[in-house]
């Protein structure tokens, strides 16, 4: 991935007025691009994902990307210079006056950009409370989950009814899989005619120095990566360890991520020496190191509305063993890019992992197919074009 020049970047704080006039924003638009759709892409999380999506959209649209500073700053280097980036200074949730001021500033910035459509990644406590009254432009909403996952204390800070308020406002809804599409219909009561299924872009932005990847695989490393909450099913991988090491004695399970209290997982380990634990925030260099070493990436989830880990594993050319829950069977093609097993079944999980570790050439074949998929179906330009089609439907619907 080539490094991009510094994009146009401004900062909005919760207490500031909007300082850039519409004329200045319009001046960045080329004369050959006057008919492009103007998209305001807003999110309070999913920084890497939004940067890659904005890059894909920018091939055929004018894009204003609004992200919190802590989400944008680490990945600015990978942003297409055609994308106009606005960094948000987001107050703490328990500061309602500052939050209201920040939301107002965001809406004014979108107005001054003269966006044709607003694309919002749900959700945020204060923005969800205010934006349903914002009726001037069509809104496309990407829903990553209809209900909070078990044990996800961070997401649960925004009450479910506040999330639902935002869900009901959207002119059109984007989901990343058919399972989630069905959940939007059944859980939220939204009509199926306004829901579009679009593939996810891989949730990863790497510097050029990180692209020489996948050459440190030792043939025995099993990786569990990401947030550690009950719905991720880590306990079943831990229970599978004795069954794995019985047949692959030198196998090693790397656990990298943070979340709930880790002591209960340590207590489950029969053979702690077979585990390498990094119960901490994982930096980008460490992410590269963990995925480069991995022979197989394991997702033993008991729930899964979406998974950014799949795209990362594919980017590094790694095979995946995942459970048959939620969107995972749609993202992981059984016996093409990985193996799918029943959830909550430590024995089936162990059998699949052992097969990938021991079957001659299987890990390489599955990993190569995963890398091919991420470079085609999940490519930001391809996803961007499909997303633009959703915007067109939203605009037609609003005109009607």
Residue tagged 């492009």 (tokens): 36
Q: What is the mean pLDDT of residues 237-265?
A: 96
Q: How confident is the model at residue 28 (pLDDT cuts 50, 70, 90)?
A: very low
- Fill in the DSSP letter of residue 26: H
Q: How confident is the model at residue 157 (pLDDT cuts 50, 70, 90)?
A: low
Could you tell me the pTM of the whole model?
0.81
The answer to whether the CB of 64 falls within 8 A of the CB of 84 is: yes
Q: What is the mean pLDDT of residues 187-204?
A: 89
Least confident of 85-89, 96-100, 225-229, 377-381: 96-100
The pLDDT, as a whole number, for residue 305 is 67
Residue tagged 């097993």 (tokens): 341
pLDDT over threshold 80, residue 27: no
Report the share of the chain in percent with pLDDT over 90.
56
The pLDDT, as a whole number, for residue 210 is 52
The pLDDT, as a whole number, for residue 5 is 35
The pLDDT, as a whole number, for residue 103 is 83
Q: How confident is the model at residue 144 (pLDDT cuts 50, 70, 90)?
A: confident
**Which of the two residues, 135 and 167, has the higher pLDDT score?**
167
Least confident of 29-33, 312-316, 367-371: 29-33
**Which of the two residues, 303 and 28, has the higher pLDDT score?**
303
Q: How confident is the model at residue 256 (pLDDT cuts 50, 70, 90)?
A: very high
Q: What is the mean pLDDT of residues 233-248?
A: 98
pLDDT over threshold 70, residue 277: yes
Q: How confident is the model at residue 399 (pLDDT cuts 50, 70, 90)?
A: confident
Nearest to 103 by CA among 122, 131, 123, 84: 131
Residue 6, token pair as written in the block? 């510094």
Provide the strand spans (E) within the chain: 9-13, 37-43, 61-68, 84-89, 117-121, 139-142, 172-175, 195-197, 221-225, 252-256, 275-278, 296-299, 320-323, 338-341
The pLDDT, as a whole number, for residue 335 is 97
Q: What is the mean pLDDT of residues 291-308?
A: 90
Q: What is the mean pLDDT of residues 220-249?
A: 96
pLDDT over threshold 70, residue 133: no
Query: What are the angstrom distances between the C-alpha of 218 and each of 208, 221, 295, 394?
Result: 23, 7, 7, 49
The answer to whether the CB of 291 falls within 8 A of the CB of 206 is: no
The pLDDT, as a whole number, for residue 17 is 32
Q: How confident is the model at residue 16 (pLDDT cuts 50, 70, 90)?
A: very low
Domains, the chain: 9-201+379-399 (3.40.50.2000), 208-374 (3.40.50.2000)
pLDDT over threshold 90, residue 271: yes
Residue 169 CA to residue 191 CA, distance in Å, equals 13
pLDDT over threshold 90, residue 59: yes
pLDDT over threshold 70, residue 18: no
The pLDDT, as a whole number, for residue 293 is 93
The pLDDT, as a whole number, for residue 132 is 63
Residue 319 CA to residue 300 CA, distance in Å, equals 14
The pLDDT, as a whole number, for residue 208 is 55
- Please write the tens of the pLDDT for every residue from 344-386: 999 999 999 999 999 999 999 999 999 999 998 899 999 999 9
Q: What is the mean pLDDT of the chain?
A: 84
- Phi and psi at residue 228, to the nearest 5°: -105, 95
pLDDT over threshold 60, residue 145: yes
The answer to whether the CB of 246 falls within 8 A of the CB of 220 is: no
Q: How confident is the model at residue 20 (pLDDT cuts 50, 70, 90)?
A: very low
**Which of the two residues, 37 and 23, has the higher pLDDT score?**
37
pLDDT over threshold 70, residue 398: yes
Q: What is the mean pLDDT of residues 25-46?
A: 66
Residue tagged 């190569």 (tokens): 368
């Amino acid at each position: 991935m080539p490094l991009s020049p510094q994009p146009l970047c401004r900062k909005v704080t919760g207490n500031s007025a909007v300082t850039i006039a519409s004329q200045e924003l319009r001046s960045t638009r080329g004369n050959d691009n006057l008919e492009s759709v103007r998209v305001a892409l807003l999110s309070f999380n999913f920084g890497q994902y939004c940067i890659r999506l904005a890059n894909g959209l920018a091939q055929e649209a004018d894009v204003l990307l609004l992200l919190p500073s802590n989400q944008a700053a680490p990945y600015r280097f990978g942003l297409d210079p055609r994308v106009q980036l606005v960094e948000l200074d987001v107050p703490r949730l328990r500061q309602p006056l500052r939050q209201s001021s920040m939301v107002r500033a965001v809406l004014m910035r979108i107005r001054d950009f003269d966006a044709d459509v607003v694309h919002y990644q749900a959700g945020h406590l204060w923005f969800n409370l205010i934006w349903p009254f914002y009726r001037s432009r069509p809104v496309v909403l990407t829903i990553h989950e209809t209900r909070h996952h078990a044990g996800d204390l961070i997401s649960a800070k925004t009450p479910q009814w506040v999330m639902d308020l935002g869900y009901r406002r959207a002119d059109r809804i984007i989901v990343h899989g058919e399972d989630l599409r069905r959940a939007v219909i059944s859980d939220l009561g939204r009509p199926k005619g306004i829901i579009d299924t679009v593939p996810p872009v891989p949730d990863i932005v790497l510097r050029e120095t990180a692209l020489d990847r996948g050459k440190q695989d030792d043939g025995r490393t099993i990786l569990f990566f990401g947030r550690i909450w009950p719905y991720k099913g880590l306990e079943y991988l831990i229970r599978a360890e004795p069954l794995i090491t019985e047949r692959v004695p030198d196998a090693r399970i790397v656990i990298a991520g943070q979340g709930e209290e880790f002591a209960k997982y340590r207590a489950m380990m029969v053979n702690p020496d077979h585990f390498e634990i990094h119960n901490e925030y994982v930096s980008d260099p460490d992410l590269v190191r963990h995925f480069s070493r991995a022979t197989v990436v394991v997702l033993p989830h008991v729930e899964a509305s979406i998974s950014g880990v799949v795209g990362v594993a594919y980017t590094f050319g790694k095979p995946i063993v995942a459970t048959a829950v939620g969107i995972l069977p749609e993202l992981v093609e059984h016996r093409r890019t990985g193996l799918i097993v029943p959830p909550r079944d430590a024995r089936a999980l162990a059998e699949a992992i052992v097969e990938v570790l021991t079957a001659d050439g299987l890990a390489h074949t599955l990993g190569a197919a995963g890398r091919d998929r991420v470079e085609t179906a999940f490519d930001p330009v391809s996803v961007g074009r499909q997303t633009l089609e959703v915007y067109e439907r939203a605009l037609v619907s609003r005109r009607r």
